[in-house]
With several copies, the nearest count.
Chain A
Amino acid sequence: MPQLNMVQAINLALKEEMMRDPDVVILGEDVGKNGGVFRVTEGLWEQFGSERVIDTPLAESGILGISIGMAAYGLKPVAEIQFVGFTYPALDQIFSHASRIRSRSRGRYTCPLVIRTPYGGGIKAPELHEESPEALFCHMPGIKVVVPSTPYYAKGLLISSIRDPDPVLFLEATRLYRLIKEEVPEGDYTFPLGKARIVREGKNITLVAWGSMLHKVLQAVEGYDDVEVIDLMTLHPFDEETLFKSARKTGRVIIVHEAPKTCGFGAELSATLAEEAMLYLKAPILRVTGYDVVMPLPKLEDFYLPTVERIRKAMEDIIKY
């Protein structure tokens, strides 16, 4: 089995799905001849031609707007937005249309669209290139939000997302693109949306994370026994059952994310536990997150992002509590 990094695993998923289903098309800025600014679509334009791997003008609302029309007509567009910060000009198309067309038309039209976009910090890039706005999308009914954390799961989750009958925001942690290689099988396999996975089992603390922060957490828990680590993978709808089960077992939950704390997705996880599992909790639910500031430029980004030290401190606090 080939050892692939995340870029390669996603590329493979795209290629296989395009071979399987002629209705799958790719569009976005620089996705064609250039193969995408991170090379995620490399080789696809050569293989499938410019009718299926479509370089668009520089217009994010336009890209997602036409994707919605394509999806309603019967295609399965996979749109790339160059960085998640550039979904902001397209939020109206996502919030007012992609997520609502099934509802507004009472099922007559649907939007089987995947929006792929790099997210997150740690790559020393300019403004708006390191955003983590996942919570915004999780608040909007009608869209699903998926964040893979390793090449293997990226492929399985992307295939599921493409086959999903509803719009999926597929967030790819830029920092992970080339960080890890693992075995990624060729050919069809899927990983269901809405399911988390236990990466490490333990009885004392539950740590919840997704995407790139999962690896920070795994680093942080090295050398600690009996710590459970959950990779959420789908944020919306998230796997309440796995979370509850773990929280019930450990009684101590720490949530780690890159986004600013206030109204980050951690808030929903914590509130859900505070509402439905409080009885089992032995300590406050802690959040280790980005600060409530504009994501700083490279010189300060390492201070902004949750660190191994901050995660360990939370673990110590929660145990001492």
Chain B
Amino acid sequence: MPEKILESFEIRRLEILDPKGEVDESLMPSLSADEIKKMYELLILSRTFDQRAIDLQREGRLGTYASILGQEATQVGSAFTIKKSDWIFPSFREMGVYMTLGYPIHQLYQYWAGDERGLKAPKDLNIFPICVPIGTQMLHAAGAAMAAKYKRDPIAVITYFGDGATSEGDFHEAFNMAGVFKLPVVFICQNNHWAISLPRERQTAAKTLAQKAYAYGFEGIQLDGNDIFAVYKGTKDAIEKARRGEGPVFIECVTYRMSSHTTADDATRYRSKEEVEMWKLKDPILRLKLFMERKGLWTEPYQKEIEERSRQIIDEAVKVAESVEPPHPEDMFTYTYAKPTFRQLKQMEDF
């Protein structure tokens, strides 16, 4: 071809830990035994939280809930590398991220029970509230990164979103801003193969989501999202790069939404049992367990112990969540503006 070639790209995929629990030692990040156990415990805690949320929802004690089942490694593995000084802009399916960062668990239940007080992050944690309108929070992440850069704060900003979110215009504008201003932001996509009933292949005709980053002049990489070591390594590299001021990275974590979209959805209407069964074999927790067993880090009693501990933590969180006084109707008015307007003051007299 006599035409000129202007640019060329390659899209890479990182895998370290396979479904049998074996690792590629050449890629394995350095993690102490304690760190690996901590990760494992967070995976178990996340799954315990999730199962309890579904139970509570069935009993009418929570509202509609979005399960994280199957996505725990993506969430724990990535959040594991985040520092207190970093800022995080989640979507709505990141309970494992909140928990890894130490967000008060009872507040998560409070939120899912329909109480916005659950969304008030503790002072020492720079995590934004759950974001319902899909794709919109990535721009806030870019903005925070811009502010951090302006203030010379050597932090990273991390934002989470799903495969569906990549179709929204705001995704595009956020990625473009990040590229143009070389912002310290790490975009983490939980590609769980589904956006409610739309499969990934019909969300976009691109073969990978990772390749979308090149449209904005920065790097995208695909990871096995059920491989906690790949997630950890990929996000750690990206976050450190961001903290060094070397610009954004896009990480596509390929994982799977094992349950329905939410408790209000019935995934059997639109996807095959076989697909779900196939992904069960790639379970992120099982995989880490097999690895740990091989390394002598996992035993039956250990499993029992951490399951029991998780259960206690979750029991306690539910108890606290459910013993909180219901919000006062006046609460509706308190946070519209710093000070209520004349009209609001009049309206508040109804209570």
Residues of A within 8 A of B (CB): 25, 29-30, 32-35, 37, 51-52, 55-62, 65-75, 77, 85-86, 88-89, 92-93, 96-97, 101-110, 124-129, 141-142, 144, 164-166, 194, 237, 240-241, 261-262, 291-294, 296-301, 303-304, 310
Contact = CB atoms under 8 A, between A and B. Distances in A.
Given A59-B167, A68-B140, A292-B344, 15 more contacts: A34-B197, A58-B203, A59-B168, A62-B177, A66-B177, A72-B143, A85-B133, A89-B133, A93-B139, A96-B132, A104-B119, A110-B338, A296-B332, A297-B114, A299-B326
A111 B24 CA distance: 46
A244 B119 CA distance: 40
Contact of A35 (B132, B144, B145, B269): B269
B233 to A, nearest CB: 27
B148 interface: yes
B338 A59 contact: no
Contact of B332 (A60, A144, A300, A310): A300
Interface residues of B, number: 74
B116 interface: yes
9 contacts: A56-B177, A57-B203, A59-B173, A65-B140, A69-B141, A97-B133, A106-B117, A291-B333, A293-B344
A70 B269 contact: no
B140 A97 contact: yes
Contacts of B117: 106
A184 to B, nearest CB: 25
Interface string B52-70: 0000000000011000000
A108 B347 contact: no
B129 A105 contact: yes
A15 to B, nearest CB: 18
Contacts of B164: 57-58
A65 B139 contact: yes
B341 A237 contact: yes
A57 B144 contact: no
Given A126-B64, A299-B115, A103 B147 contact: no
Interface string B314-341: 0000000000001101011111111001
Given A303-B332, A310-B350, A30 B169 contact: no
Contacts of B27: none
B270 A105 contact: no
